[in-house]
Structure 1
Amino acid sequence: MIGRRIAICALLVLPLAAPASAQDYTLGSLEIATPWTRATAPTAKSGGGFVTITNKGTTADRLMAARSPASLKVEIHEMKMDGQVMRMRELANGLEIPPGATVTLKPGGFHIMFMDLKAPLAKDAKVPVTLVFEKAGSIDVDFKVEAMGAAGTGHQMR
């Protein structure tokens, strides 16, 4: 009975203790944590990129653009319900990162869209991406490629 309780507790706690496998970055007052993407099928033309950005500063900043040699075009997107239909669209003015706030780009919400992929994204590879912020400038980050259908890299989804 005690062994069963220990096993159940371990199963509940283990996912919380899993280390983030993606590198974290700092650019001015911005903290960029656990950038990741999913592996794509050999014929896929697009993929999504996900990351958590925390603004430790006192003024807002804005993620204006992203670039990557992995695809011909990269856009900042949002997904939201429009009545009964989920719609995805580019954020023409970028994504605001308010002061003191954390913004998580995740599946089903804000995300980076890699369009016209030059090659499939392979599990365990790294995708180089340049994130461009309105005030903080640009930073090069590596997005770790997780398995197809992955929910994340062990970090807490918000």
Structure 2
Amino acid sequence: MKKWIYANALATLLTVAGLSVPVMAGSEDVVLEDAWSRASIGVNRPGAAYMTVRNTGDEAVTLTGLATPLAMMPEIHETTTNAEGVSSMAPAGEITIAPRESVALEPGGLHAMLMRLQEPMREGESFPLTLMFSDGGELTVEVPILGIAARGPED
């Protein structure tokens, strides 16, 4: 428990300082890297958050849900494109990450969909996003909000 508190405190301090470092879960098997989001147009349309979720352990981990005070309905969604080139988006359900593998939450694929925003996502601000895992563990990361046209965490 102490390692989790220290890892999250350090990550929060470094995020506030503008530095990018991985954040470790209490199990020290899950690392979140390069979290980011885009500014929203008001609250009538959903927002999204992106990052890499890396499993550094020797056993699979399963991401089961999300929570944030910013949105009443945060979910993992997946965008797919069919043979005719038509894209659609739907809830992805649970995401299992194999040992020593990672899953990218990125535009055009899996992503954290933030529905029913409680306030606009404003460039330069940030919000906490909690990832919940099947073993009961939770990992919270502070997600910076970039410009509306951002294409990645470096923008």
TM-score by length of 1: 0.79
Alpha-carbon contact 1:61-1:136 (below 8 Å) kept: no
Q: Which runs of 5+ in 1 are unaligned?
A: 1-19
* Matched letter for residue 22 of structure 2: D
* Residue-pair matches, total: 135
Aligned residues of 2:36 and 2:146 also touching (Cα < 8 A): yes
Query: How many Å apart are 1:96 and its aligned residue?
Result: 1.4
Matched to 1:122, the amino acid is R
What do the CA deviations read for 1:107-147 (whole angstroms, capped 9, x no partner)? 00000000010111001111111110113610111111011
The share of aligned pairs that are identical, in percent, is 27
Assess if the C-alpha contact under 8 Å between 1:22 and 1:36 holds in 2. no
Q: Residue 92 of structure 2 corresponds to which residue in structure 1?
A: 91
- Partners of 2:73 and 2:143 lie apart in 1 by 16
Is structure 2 residue 94 aligned with structure 1 residue 106?
no
Match of 1:26 among 11, 17, 24: 24
Deviation readout 1:42-81 (Å, 9 max, x if unpaired): 2543111101011111111111100110011100111111
* Structure 2: 5+ residue stretches without partners: 1-17
- Equivalent residue, structure 2, for 1:14: none
**Matches for 1:1-150 after TM superposition, within 5 Å:** 22-27=20-25, 28-84=28-84, 85-92=86-93, 94-135=94-135, 137-150=137-150
Provide the C-alpha distance between the structure 2 equivalents of 1:126 and 1:44, rounded to a whole number of angstroms. 19
User: Structure 1 residues 127, 23: CA separation in 2 closer, same or farther (over 3 Å shift)?
Assistant: farther
The aligned counterpart of 1:151 is: 151
Is the contact between residue 43 and residue 118 of structure 2 (CA under 8 Å) also seen in structure 1? no
Structure possessing the higher radius of gyration over alpha carbons? 1
Match of 1:7 in 2: none
CA contact (8 A) 2:43 2:116 kept: no
What's the RMSD between the two structures over aligned residues?
1.8
CA shift at 1:23, angstroms?
4.9
Of residues 61-70 and 82-91 in structure 1, the stretch that sits farther from structure 2 once superposed is 82-91
